[in-house]
Structure 1
Amino acid sequence: MLETSQGERQCILAPFSPTKRRGLLRRLCEQVEEKLAPQPASELIRCGIADQQGPVGPPGKKSLLPECFACSAAHGLERHLVLLVTIATMATTTTEKMAQVKTFVRDKVSQTTDAAGLSVHDARIKGQNTMRQAQQKTASASNTSIESLQFLMDKLNRSGIVNDAKLLGQAPNLLISGLTGGGLDDRKLLLEQIVTLLSGLPASSHISQVLSDTLIKIIWGDLPHPAVSFMGPEHRFRRPDGSDNNIQNPNLGASGQPYSRNVQRTHPQPVNLPDPGTVYDLLLARDDFEPHPSGISSLLFNFANIIIHDIFSTTREPGARSAYNQHSSYLDLQVVYGANKDEQRRVRTGALGLLKSDAIGDWRLAMMPPATAALGILLSRNHNVIAKRLYEVNENQRFDNLKDEALDDELFGTARLVNCGLFLHIILRDYIPVILNTNDSEWFVDPLNPIKDLGGALDRGNGNSVAAEFSVLYRWHAAVSQNDEKWMNDFLESQFPGQRPEDVDPMEFLGAAAGLKKTFQDADPSEWNLHGWERDEQGKFDDGLLAQIIKDAVSDVAGAFRARGHPSWFRPIEILGMITARKDWALCTMNEFRHFLGLKTYSSFSEWNPDPKISQAAEMLYGDIDNLELYPGLMAEEAKPSIPGSGLCPGYTISRGILSDAAALTRGDRFYTNDFSTSNLTSSGYLYCTTPQPGSHGLMGKLIMTTLPGQFPHNSIYALYPFRVPETTVGILKEKRLIEHYDTSYPAPARHWFSVESYSATKDIIEDSRYFVALPPMSYDEGLMTSALASIPRWQDEVTDYYSINVNTVMNTRSIPFSNSGRQHIVDLLEVVNTVSAQFTSRLFALPTPGSHGLHLGMSPEQLSATLAKPLAYAMYGSFDSQGHQTWQLEEESEACMRRLKTLIWARLHTVDGILSPVFSLVQNISNLVGGPGNIAANDMARHFYHTLFASGKSNDELVKDCLHMMVSLTATHSLVLMQTFKWFFREENADHLSAMHQLAHKNDPASNSEMRHRLMEAYRLNAITPPQAKFALQAVALPDVGGDKKFVQVGDGVYIPPSALYRDPQLSKEPERFNPNGSLPVRLGLGDAPSQSILEVALPAIAKQFFKHSGLRMAPSGSPPVVNDAGPTPNQKLPYFVSNHGLEYPLPIDTSMHVIYNVR
């Protein structure tokens, strides 16, 4: 620090200009880096770090040092550098760690400063002079700093106050984690050692004060001051009017609050401003259409309509308060939910948190192009999808004790948080990336996360108030496409018959708008007439119609931002906007707004827009560039080019303002920052709204395919990348060599699906391959594999013994005591079943597993079980069109697993009877001697099995396919069947059947074993919820239906077989819903292939027996995995999904648990 003649203390760099100061700061860091190598403290002090005894710069002045280094208003970069040098004197560190420090300091300074105004030579001379002055001032201000550093070194080297090796080795990590916001490893006890170190320093020493102050700042900065998130139930959910977002200032940004003003207007306004109509005609009126240079689709601007009208709603009727925003200043989807209690009440059903069918809360969406209204409907539907899913999952029994209104409010509030979260992440990961032209990059602007370092945390969640200047900035009418312009022309010509746009008086236009508003407000939102679309009996619009509107909007290129680009019927709207900005709001000028944003002000009209037709017209209207009003200044400014980093291509000023406003809207929202958590949204809700749709880096595809099931292929660019026209998307995907993964064609109408309700029809469909085929195909040579299984001596006894022994072993090793007495144990039934079924598969197919042989070969049982489950999940649900939002992930995971499994099976085939067989047998024998039994070489069961396969004469590639498909069908089916079976027995009303199973489990005669198998299959038949694979018609055929009717299926149509038709049709028995212990009704297990079915019918009773033999067997309080119902192929059918422990959804119980409790004998 330097001391002035008046005794004031100021920054040592204050005498230099800001440009030179930046250069000197860079040189300052370079000198520190040169001194970082361990050496005497006196040498380090010569780097010229100024003493810190007061604020950086004169009182009341903002520090000119880089903000990212600022600790507070009173501390700046120099203090951090003092800490840097202090830590550097702790001599025991590594070159790598010091390199991290140097790199970080260099990067931080480079990121926050521009190029230095001085040459390298001049900067060096000035820097050396400044450092010498600083060193002199430091010495005069405090003659103890050098001595304190030397004392510190002596203390560390000679005393036993601290474990110096441990402290010194962690010192660089302390610096790095502090500056970067990384986590400090508290297990190293570094904080405690620093406290011990401070206690041994002289209390009056300067270095003690510096380190002590830094410690206080660190622990003070750990917590927000004041608190930003509160536990009260009244603060958990968004309020209808958006209030209480900032708890300390509840009305900030709420509906009905005034717009804020960002820019102070100081430029004298001309007495006679030009007529707004003339301004429109000369600067804004569209002369012809120019397509958007980045190939942006009109759907992006329809989505922009949702965003803009969600945060801006200005009443323009005479006498109204136009300075007040009728909507909140938050992205809280008031266009869907309404902007106050009354509007919200009108769109809600009042039960289970649901909205009325296809209801939206803002009538203005009906006055916009059809795709805008369609997007509002999709967001409304998505709320109901979420609310139903939350209720089904019922995470941690969240809704068990709630009824009626309380349950409705809880579900509604939570679903709204999740729906708004999806809306936000579409903005961040679909919308803004197109604006920035990042071309399918995984990177995206994320302003939400905590940003914290030694200087403290960057504010977030402290509320927002949208400014009137930004209401003007978002008038993006030039981007209206030709199709949307035509719709607008037709609509407004119907409202003003026989009139041209220039003939319509603005007040006449307001009158017509007021009449339309009243028409909608007098009707129930679930009955609103949107563009003449018809509603069905439930009040829903046709999925195919909405999908058609979305597809056409994706194909429709938007207009370019430019002067003279606004469609003609926007004339009265633009005039009203200019009048409001000029008279009601008295906004700043164009140059004043640019100065506010930190941009260079324009010196001439030709600099603002080089097109002489535009610049000359503007100059004639305004005379001086400083008189140019904000509204026409923003709308008619020269547009940015389309380049990487610039995709929207608006005017330069709009481009700068968009990102600033986006940060304020998102980072300022408490519900998107501090309270955006699994606590409030639930784990499954949080995952749903933050996980990108596979196949893209965004979530727009998830919204489209979830709310319009079956209308888009799962890999359609029309759903995954809808904010660019298809031609642009295709070019990007080709450049990235990803085009083969996508369907680039215009999506065809949805496939026609039939749901078959009779057992006779299902039997024909499943068994007759001439008419129907399953997709994806999982067929294989079942006859050969059945023969191979039968070639194993006593194969049924082998299977029974294997499962009985190993289930008992795994149960004993994986269970833990459930009571203090130890008489009750608890175990994860699914873990036991998955482990043993994978072990059997490994044995039958002789797959190597890591273990006692000491070699890292193959997969563990847990890995194999999970790997085989993914292809089965895809085989079961991958062909249902309604599951487009799930299909990509299922297919991708399946393909990865299949590739890995094929490699294992191929290697095994070459080591059983091939040239490598003797080698592997030798390795196995050596392994057995050294480390105990292993499974490198094939066992007896596998050798019999494979010998039959080789005897068939089929190629190894064919055998790999046969083995792989049988493994997939067999292994993961165990847990699916047994989970549903045990759930049935654990029901209170089935206690007698559970007792009977316990008694049978203690018997071992053939009759008892047969009865157990029948009872097991009966329980599964009655409780099965998973349908078999979908089938597709190869020929036109008539299927028998219930009541003797027929369903006529055409080529390509899909057929869905519900479990009720397969297992519980009255054709099967007189009482198909009744448990029949001696019944022999057919049960289809897995994919229904014969070899797997044969093994499962033997294995499942053997597994169940080891559980049922224990008394007191019951479900643990945690229950079974939650099941949610997703859209099925027909409106009345749903597809069940099991929710994993991490909130993911699968057709099988993957990565989930089902704990059972039993008595230990």
Structure 2
Amino acid sequence: MADKFLDLLGGSPDGKGSNGKAKDAPPSTTSSANKSPPSPDLSTRLSWVAKAILRSFSAIPETPYSTAGNTVDATATTGILEDLQKMGFKDVETLLEFLHTAVHGVQDDSKLLLERIVDLLSKLPPSSREGAALESGFIHQLWNSLQHPVLTTLDDKFKYREADGSNNNPYMPQLGAAGTPYARTTPPMTYQRPDAPEPSLLFDTLMRRGDGFQEHPNRISSVLFYMATLITHDIFQSDGKRSGINLTSSYLDLAPLYGRNKEEQLAVRALEAGRLKPDSFSSKRVHGFPPGVGVLIIMFNRFHNYVVTQLAAINEGGRFKKEPTAQELKGKDAATQEALRAAALAKYDEDLFQTGRLVTCGLYVNIILRDYVRTILNVNRSDTAWALDPRIKDGQNIFSKPTPEATGNQVSVEFNFLYRWHSAISVRDQEWTNDAFKEILGTDDPEAMKFEEFLGKLHSFEAALDDDPVKRQFHKIKRKEDGSLPDDDLVKVWFESVEDVAGSFGANRVPPVLKHVEILGIIQARQWNVATLNEFREFFGLTRHRTFEDINPDPEVATKLRNLYDSPDSVELYPGLVIEKAKPPIDPGSGLCVNFTTSRAILSDAVALVRGDRFYTVDYTPKHLTNWGFNEASYDAKVNNSHVIYKLVFRAFPNHFRRDSIYAHFPFTVPSENAKFLAKIHKDHLYSWDRPSPVGDLILVRSYDTVKKVLGNQKDYTVVWGDAIRFLTEKDGHAPGATFCLAGDKRANAESRNLVLDALYGPEAWESEVSRFYSKMVPVLLKKYSYTWETASEVEKKKPGTHAREVDIVRDVINLANTRLCAALFNLPIKIEENPWGVLTEQELYLAATAIFSSIFFDSDIAKSSQVRNVAKELAGQLERLVIVAAHAVDKVGIVTDAVESVRGYWRGEGFPAIAGYGHELIRHLLEKDKSVEECVRGTILPFISSNVPNQSALLAQCLDFYLEEENKHHLEELYRLAHENTDEADLKITKYMLEGSRIRGTVAVYRDVQTATSLPDSVPAIPNPSDPTHVNPLTPPSQTQFHLPLRKGDRLLLSLASASRDPTIFPEPDKVKLDRPISSYIHFGSGPHKCAGMELSIVAQTALFKQIVGLKNLRRAEGDRGHMKSMPARKWKGQVKGKREREAEEGAWSGLRVYMLADQSGYWPVPTTMKVEWDE
């Protein structure tokens, strides 16, 4: 019996004994080397015994041939103790990391957590309860990593917004489309009396505004309510013939501008290059509103037209194709080719229009969230950039799933009544509406008109308007020849609206002239059987109004309600929403001070409208809008705490506003109220408070003699950079930068220039030291930043044994070499491999210098000015602290501190100990003039660095770009030869080549303000070359015809040194490289009292740098767009697409001015940013 029991302990269900053999098998004859594996441990054998015992007590199965439920294993599960026996410490760590990932929703895949989870699951027994839970969680995580269903597709029919709003949700294409019924938010379950109060009686007792006007408690301007009107008519336009049908889409797609369907959209489009017809909009209803509403929509029209002109000019990745390719035309007859060209042009217009619409709507929704909603919540009065933005990426974790997005939207009938904010109409707009209704209705007493007649007159007014939007009269403002409206008239409407205080919410605040409009609303609400006010409140989780005083605590209003309705539960949604008590101002929290129920519901609606829209969520990407378009529509949290409407104002009216105008930055609140809360957060000094006024156009001066004459006359033509330099260098009310040589034309500015000159050119042999610097530094940069491709290039195939290397010659060599020179000059502790204890990297130093440079000398885009200045101010502070380290060392002990000494040691190790001495001399000169270290840095050194590095880098980059052209290959071959001669004569020729290349391809221009009315002679040295789409190779006109420029005091001149450098009277055959031109004739370094103080230093430095670059063997552009600097002619946007005559006149004059693009093409930049070249080792 004992033996049988021992056999049982070592046995198994297959009948084998403890030695692993069948019980009846013969004895083993194998050697010890072939012994069977050790027998199972005691716990395993006991486990089987337990199962056997349990099996013996189980009932006889009713269905003996069924496999389900016949075994203990089918239902028994193991617990955590059994699981832990299978796990090691690493497995426990895996569990903890999995839990961490589940909680936070983010996984560090470098830790191979997924693979470790698989390993852990494979170790646990199939019956593990915890294992099953872990596996379930794992599958849950994998499932939820993807959208179900996917919200966006590659189908082109979902690429753009449809005119009618359909296809927003690809799986429910008609959801929210124009022409579909309103949704219902709240079921009407309360018994409502059939004999409800007369609509006319309700208006007269509870809604009519009396003689007194109660202005808005937060002094919100009428402009906010113009935006509200635009939003309301964007998503609500009821069909008067078909009850319950919404004629517009349920999406914020700017339907009042673009139209509600394809027919209306085509009517407002110019059908040329993606543009809209000038200063027009689709909606006819808007013509019945105060002019400020129409002006706001016209501003979006202008923004759209600005956007499409830039999209076409940038043409990111060649996505906007105007012509069919040669391959597409190959072999086709003339008629087919013509049809293909027409189709390509139509697609070009369509793609530009639709992309421009996406960008414009992007700005629209950002204005809603960042200006409109922030003002509604009173967050605009706090020094915070927070906003209620439904597009937040909330992610998923163990506790929650992401909030659904891109589901589509269907506006509801209840919200149709929620946005009827007639109580807020100002006194001014009430008077305008009175006059307009008298004209439209043909009566002096609109209230006395019968209701049906009133509706008929309104329909007749709308029907009489021309179907072509550009032919409609807009508020008695006469259109110009090109169809646009005069800026002066539109701006006047705008600033008067910004100053106009809106009304407050509550009972008895609606202007009497709107009586019939309100009656229509009450009748519609009853016809559509909407829920009661209390039912609507209950739907949003708000308490029911239990007394009439809860609805409105004003005793008179409560009494009227009590007389009209039996109970608070009987009060209708409309007019209940209008007469309900309003919220008080709460800072932050309540800014709109609207009725209680409305204040809660509109926030839910805002979230639904934005988060449910595919084009504002999953498809709101740089790929859909382009990088530039996405950036143009975006807000900057550091500008106005993320308010962004200033972009719309500046793009619409670039010639009327100062960059800091309060009328552009915060138009939703009247200026006097803005002044109060901006002073409270210490920001009122950042804005100007004058009314907008016209700013004259820049007057372009082109000829060499006239440019030089103006530059030499400080009395009549003064520099314009003082304000920007003062802004950047100001601290605690003191701006030492005001005396910098480029900041003004006074004696102190001249003294600053002399100090710089004495310090720069005082030391002996500075030319050779600078040259040695570049000869050492450029090879270091080339080695660090260049790379070679494993795949041989065409050149390598032709020349076996050679290896092509590639580098971004602008970003990584030219920019950084000049940056390192300045760092050496002023002992700036930059962080590089040779100096790991530095503060700023060389890239950060260059970026700081360029941002400051841009804000001072190229702050010409008013819509970007605030952003550029803010970034420059911040970076200037960082750069200032860096320079002060070196400057204090000179002030305190006359030598550098240990840390800076280490930096100098690096420079000395490279063989140029004299370089750092120049900066010391400059600082000593300034200190001798009783200036503090901070004044030295902010007033001279900082402006010097920021004006030198970017400017000189740009000149050399443009020069190199010229010589890399295929037609200039022979010049590069000669330059390669000269670079390797290493003689003074050869170096002088390289200097001449450098000066010629920067003359021909340079884009330098400077401004001057006219102080005395006069007249200047001028001529046009260069004209556009029709065969050159890049506009970099102009033609020289056959003769120079002089004309005169009449000047008034206050005019601003733009002196094109690029054009002057091509003046054939000074530079014969200006498009050719000629090495016999006098160095003194070159003007692209400036002329007169403000001529570049570092000109001699720059010529030596850039020659040395140029020599190192052209000395590379077989230097050439990298293949494709990477080998080119992305740029385009700089043309000033004047608010609207110009008429044909103006466009032809502008295109007939060549200025030579260009703008460059950032490497990702998300924005413009004043200097080249990237260009890759190759050479052979």
- The offset of 1:789, in angstroms, is 3.0
For the residue of structure 1 that corresponds to 2:807, the secondary structure is strand
What is the identity, as a one-letter code, of the residue corresponding to 2:1001?
A: N
For the residue of structure 2 that corresponds to 1:163, the secondary structure is helix
After TM superposition, the score normalised by the length of structure 1 is 0.81
| Aligned counterparts of 1:1024 and 1:855: Cα–Cα separation in 2 | 36
| Aligned counterparts of 1:864 and 1:927: Cα–Cα separation in 2 | 15
Query: Are residue 306 (structure 1) and residue 306 (structure 2) matched?
Result: no
Q: Deviations over 1:506-532 (max 9, x none)?
A: 32232232233233343x222321112
Query: Are residue 688 (structure 1) and residue 688 (structure 2) matched?
Result: no
| Aligned counterparts of 1:696 and 1:746: Cα–Cα separation in 2 | 23
Q: How does 1:738-749 map to 2 (within 5 A)?
A: 738-749=683-694
- The offset of 1:431, in angstroms, is 0.6
Match of 2:1008 in 1: 1031
CA gap of 1:525–1:999, structure 2 versus 1, over 3 A, is farther
| Aligned counterparts of 1:432 and 1:391: Cα–Cα separation in 2 | 33
Q: What is the aligned counterpart of 2:757 among 763, 786, 806?
A: 786
Match of 1:706 in 2: 651
For the residue of structure 1 that corresponds to 2:593, the secondary structure is coil
After TM superposition, the score normalised by the length of structure 2 is 0.80
- The offset of 1:211, in angstroms, is 2.0
Q: Count how many residue pairs are aligned between Structure 1 and Structure 2.
A: 996
Q: What is the aligned counterpart of 2:1091 among 1071, 1089, 1092?
A: 1089
Q: How does 1:154-553 map to 2 (within 5 A)?
A: 154-156=85-87, 160=88, 163-164=90-91, 166-167=93-94, 170-177=97-104, 182-287=105-210, 288-316=212-240, 320-400=241-321, 403-438=344-379, 439-440=381-382, 441-451=384-394, 452-454=396-398, 455-522=400-467, 524-553=468-497
Match of 1:1114 in 2: 1117
Match of 1:6 in 2: none
Q: Deviations over 1:355-386 (max 9, x none)?
A: 12222121222221111111101111111221
Query: Are residue 570 (structure 1) and residue 497 (structure 2) matched?
Result: no
| Aligned counterparts of 2:706 and 2:902: Cα–Cα separation in 1 | 58
Query: Are residue 1138 (structure 1) and residue 1156 (structure 2) matched?
Result: yes
Contact 2:827 2:900 in 1 (8 A): no
CA gap of 1:679–1:903, structure 2 versus 1, over 3 A, is closer
- The offset of 1:720, in angstroms, is 1.2
Query: Are residue 1128 (structure 1) and residue 1135 (structure 2) matched?
Result: no
What is the identity, as a one-letter code, of the residue corresponding to 2:814?
A: V
| Aligned counterparts of 2:907 and 2:514: Cα–Cα separation in 1 | 82
What is the identity, as a one-letter code, of the residue corresponding to 1:372?
A: V
CA gap of 1:898–1:492, structure 2 versus 1, over 3 A, is same
Q: Deviations over 1:942-980 (max 9, x none)?
A: 336644774684234465433333322221123211232
| Aligned counterparts of 1:340 and 1:927: Cα–Cα separation in 2 | 67
What is the identity, as a one-letter code, of the residue corresponding to 1:332?
A: D
Match of 1:1156 in 2: 1173
Moved more, 422-431 or 541-550: 541-550
Match of 2:739 in 1: none
- The offset of 1:737, in angstroms, is 1.8
What is the identity, as a one-letter code, of the residue corresponding to 1:873?
A: S
Q: What is the aligned counterpart of 1:811 among 782, 788, 791?
A: 782
For the residue of structure 1 that corresponds to 2:296, the secondary structure is helix
Match of 1:590 in 2: 533
Match of 2:1060 in 1: 1062
Q: What is the aligned counterpart of 1:885 among 852, 863, 867?
A: 863
Match of 2:82 in 1: 151
- The offset of 1:669, in angstroms, is 0.7
Q: Deviations over 1:563-591 (max 9, x none)?
A: 111112111211222222222x2222222
Match of 2:930 in 1: 955
| Aligned counterparts of 1:711 and 1:730: Cα–Cα separation in 2 | 21
Match of 2:944 in 1: 966
Q: What is the aligned counterpart of 1:633 among 573, 576, 583?
A: 576
What is the identity, as a one-letter code, of the residue corresponding to 1:195?
A: V
Query: Are residue 870 (structure 1) and residue 857 (structure 2) matched?
Result: no
| Aligned counterparts of 2:99 and 2:1086: Cα–Cα separation in 1 | 57
Q: What is the aligned counterpart of 2:710 among 765, 768, 777?
A: 765
Q: Deviations over 1:894-923 (max 9, x none)?
A: 3333344444444434434x5523574x77
For the residue of structure 2 that corresponds to 1:457, the secondary structure is coil
For the residue of structure 2 that corresponds to 1:1031, the secondary structure is strand
For the residue of structure 1 that corresponds to 2:465, the secondary structure is helix
Query: Are residue 581 (structure 1) and residue 558 (structure 2) matched?
Result: no
Q: Deviations over 1:450-483 (max 9, x none)?
A: 4323353332101111111111111111011111
- The offset of 1:1113, in angstroms, is 1.4
Moved more, 723-732 or 828-837: 723-732
Q: What is the aligned counterpart of 2:664 among 672, 695, 719?
A: 719
| Aligned counterparts of 1:259 and 1:1157: Cα–Cα separation in 2 | 63
Structure 2: stretches of 5+ with no match in the other structure: 1-73, 324-343, 723-741, 744-748, 793-801, 1020-1040, 1139-1145
| Aligned counterparts of 2:151 and 2:391: Cα–Cα separation in 1 | 14
What is the identity, as a one-letter code, of the residue corresponding to 2:617?
A: T
Contact 1:909 1:956 in 2 (8 A): no
Q: How does 1:968-1007 map to 2 (within 5 A)?
A: 968-1006=946-984
Moved more, 1044-1053 or 596-605: 1044-1053
Match of 1:1020 in 2: 998
For the residue of structure 2 that corresponds to 1:1057, the secondary structure is strand
What is the identity, as a one-letter code, of the residue corresponding to 1:507?
A: E
- The offset of 1:1016, in angstroms, is 3.2
- The offset of 1:854, in angstroms, is 6.0
| Aligned counterparts of 1:699 and 1:985: Cα–Cα separation in 2 | 43
The share of aligned pairs that are identical, in percent, is 31
- The offset of 1:1045, in angstroms, is 4.8
Match of 2:729 in 1: none
CA gap of 1:1011–1:650, structure 2 versus 1, over 3 A, is same
Match of 1:30 in 2: none
Contact 1:835 1:865 in 2 (8 A): yes
| Aligned counterparts of 2:949 and 2:658: Cα–Cα separation in 1 | 30
Contact 1:873 1:1146 in 2 (8 A): no
- The offset of 1:280, in angstroms, is 1.2
What is the identity, as a one-letter code, of the residue corresponding to 1:1138?
A: Y
| Aligned counterparts of 1:194 and 1:812: Cα–Cα separation in 2 | 44
Q: Deviations over 1:86-142 (max 9, x none)?
A: xxxxxxxxxxxxxxxxxxxxxxxxxxxxxxxxxxxxxxxxxxxxxxxxxxxxxxxx9
CA gap of 1:932–1:554, structure 2 versus 1, over 3 A, is closer
Q: What is the aligned counterpart of 1:834 among 815, 837, 843?
A: 815
Match of 1:621 in 2: 564
- The offset of 1:423, in angstroms, is 0.7
| Aligned counterparts of 1:868 and 1:925: Cα–Cα separation in 2 | 24
| Aligned counterparts of 1:954 and 1:606: Cα–Cα separation in 2 | 76
Match of 2:1027 in 1: none
Query: Are residue 1102 (structure 1) and residue 1107 (structure 2) matched?
Result: no
CA gap of 1:572–1:1112, structure 2 versus 1, over 3 A, is same
Structure 1: stretches of 5+ with no match in the other structure: 1-141
| Aligned counterparts of 2:610 and 2:626: Cα–Cα separation in 1 | 20
